[in-house]
Structure 1
């Protein structure tokens, strides 16, 4: 697979990639089409019970002399992302051709770990700001402060090409204005926000629906570009406004349909300010999560709330790796991974080939 070749070229590993993907599927970049991605429900012989957590396999591959790598997303039964999981919360089960059921593999002996996923995953955030006349004249400084806080909360402490943000703004024009292109730099993003002035706009109206449609198109194009580069990707669109659509250039239904029919790997968030917003419409635009500030003094709090949700989405993707005890000649083996988080548990099953596996995996 091109993805696997690209991955190991980037890492400059000399190891040979001997298997990729599910036994029945190649890499599927539309990775949320099925609840379990490339995986399937765990065999009943394990008796793990109902899943409170959903592990959706995005990709998997093996590396000689014996490493198995699984890239997956974890969410709860309501679809909410689950972040912050550690390797010791996972249990590995393998079933070979001589096993009636699965055997538990020690996570310590197999050197199980959560590894950086930066080489195979991109997460892009689009922050879309309403800079119509009502914002510029009454709440610009509060919006700038809240947006800077958002950038600080969402962007990783260490710069990485896997996590980037772009900032756009809209007014009454039939255009989504670019404030700052995709960047991994907090400093660059914050400087662009600091540079917003009250005379930035020449059209006092509000083209909210146009901004939603255009930002969704941008997010979908970013996913396509990543797919063309053989990199798995997700995106978040965060829209702020203090009112309703006034330009009437696009219909409400067109904007809602655009969000509803968007690529499932795009998350949508909305932030509303003041009494003139339409909370129902903004909730549909921000179908992943929406928050509303009663006044400009509450803006930073609402932006912080959204930033937490955006960060959770990005942090719910994991690259889990371990050294398998299976060896060359054992053929194709079943693999089940279970995760426990408090009283919740979930598991997923897949397969891998141990062709060429030997000892010495680290």
Structure 2
């Protein structure tokens, strides 16, 4: 099986916007990658005779709940590491193998009440949107930035607020401060109102402390990730930085900012958006190691923000909590489990095991 952490380099060019993907590694939201990128899972038994996988199921966590429910939390990617969102329960097939079975038996997804369930109880995803509000932005492209960031919020945040998907908005200028515009929130309307409340006189320093913003936002993302993964939860964070120029404050070095990004927890993704002719695309590509986009003028801002929001959303929505009621019962011991997913012509599978100790009827 190909490794799901294969290096990925995307170059996208259109007449409206030039964008480049420069991921040195796929966003590793899962805490477990394991062999072949399967996390806590293993390759499926040869007796199933499955074809070579086009999709990779990386098991992040699994548990059983009386009287007989089996829950598997996993990420689905293609073999190049690209996330696969939007799968439904009917695209999965369950196979079980007990101690009396030579191979696996198919379990009916309808009879087993198989379903994709909300994963908020075990997974949390935080996004930090960090905006350059130095004088050049406020004086020439504030209206376009507000429209673009509003679109970004609507694309990334679920329409129905969920505590497992939250966003905070920060901004920077020339001061040695990462200013808070809106604290972590799951609410689209609250975040949008904060964006619409930005005025041209919000900043008192016309310079640009880009490297300071990178360092401080990485620290904040690290703190959020540490807090959100307490109690056995699995967490991820994304830092999305917008600027229309280079660092002018010279308070911190490029090397210090890059080192902070490179040494950050691998479950923090870094995206950058650059506007205009004064940006340093190489610096922004290095900082935005997950993906970066560049707009030639302010009219292209919404397109670039949408490009980034698509990737942030895809990553978060490629995690699934799959649950079903097993027909195995108490006394059957430890059983093997295989899950296969089909998405059009593509398929992939993973194998694990579970104990049926205490299992009885009555699972819903």
* Residue in structure 2 matched with residue 45 of structure 1 by the alignment: 47
Alpha-carbon distance between aligned partners in 2 of 1:184 and 1:225, rounded to the nearest angstrom: 16
Aligned counterpart in structure 2 of residue 141 of structure 1, from 121, 140, 143: 143
Alpha-carbon distance between aligned partners in 2 of 1:47 and 1:33, rounded to the nearest angstrom: 23
Aligned counterpart in structure 2 of residue 250 of structure 1, from 244, 249, 252: 252
SS at match of 2:139: helix
Aligned counterpart in structure 1 of residue 95 of structure 2, from 86, 93, 96: 93
SS at match of 1:276: coil
* Residue in structure 1 matched with residue 66 of structure 2 by the alignment: 64
In structure 1, runs of 5+ residues without a counterpart are 1-27
Deviation of the 1:152 alpha carbon: 1.5
Checking the alignment, whether the CA contact within 8 Å between 2:244 and 2:279 is kept in structure 1 is yes
Residue by residue, what CA displacement relative to the aligned partner does 1:118-174 show, whole Å, maximum 9, x if unpaired? 222111111000111111111111111111111122111111111111000111222
Alpha-carbon distance between aligned partners in 1 of 2:176 and 2:55, rounded to the nearest angstrom: 43
Checking the alignment, whether the CA contact within 8 Å between 1:127 and 1:167 is kept in structure 2 is yes
In structure 2, runs of 5+ residues without a counterpart are 1-28
Checking the alignment, whether the CA contact within 8 Å between 1:166 and 1:183 is kept in structure 2 is yes
- Cα distance change of structure 1 residues 29 and 269 upon mapping to structure 2, 3 Å threshold: closer
Give the aligned length.
335
Residue by residue, what CA displacement relative to the aligned partner does 1:203-248 show, whole Å, maximum 9, x if unpaired? 2221112211211111111111122243221111111111112222
* Residue in structure 2 matched with residue 107 of structure 1 by the alignment: 109
- Cα distance change of structure 1 residues 134 and 32 upon mapping to structure 2, 3 Å threshold: farther
Residue by residue, what CA displacement relative to the aligned partner does 1:85-120 show, whole Å, maximum 9, x if unpaired? 011111111111122222221212211110111222
Deviation of the 1:67 alpha carbon: 0.8
> Within 5 Å, which residues of 2 pair with 1:1-362?
30-32=31-33, 35-362=37-364
Checking the alignment, whether the CA contact within 8 Å between 1:122 and 1:231 is kept in structure 2 is yes
- Cα distance change of structure 1 residues 37 and 155 upon mapping to structure 2, 3 Å threshold: same
Alpha-carbon distance between aligned partners in 1 of 2:121 and 2:81, rounded to the nearest angstrom: 25
Alpha-carbon distance between aligned partners in 1 of 2:34 and 2:209, rounded to the nearest angstrom: 32
Residue by residue, what CA displacement relative to the aligned partner does 1:162-191 show, whole Å, maximum 9, x if unpaired? 111100011122221111100112121111
Alpha-carbon distance between aligned partners in 2 of 1:155 and 1:127, rounded to the nearest angstrom: 12
Checking the alignment, whether the CA contact within 8 Å between 1:91 and 1:107 is kept in structure 2 is yes
Alpha-carbon distance between aligned partners in 2 of 1:241 and 1:99, rounded to the nearest angstrom: 60
Residue by residue, what CA displacement relative to the aligned partner does 1:297-330 show, whole Å, maximum 9, x if unpaired? 1111111121111111111110000111111101
Checking the alignment, whether the CA contact within 8 Å between 2:246 and 2:278 is kept in structure 1 is yes
Checking the alignment, whether the CA contact within 8 Å between 2:33 and 2:40 is kept in structure 1 is no
Output the aligned Cα RMSD: 1.7
Please give the TM-score of this superposition, normalised by the length of structure 2.
0.88
Deviation of the 1:268 alpha carbon: 1.5
SS at match of 1:109: coil
SS at match of 1:169: strand
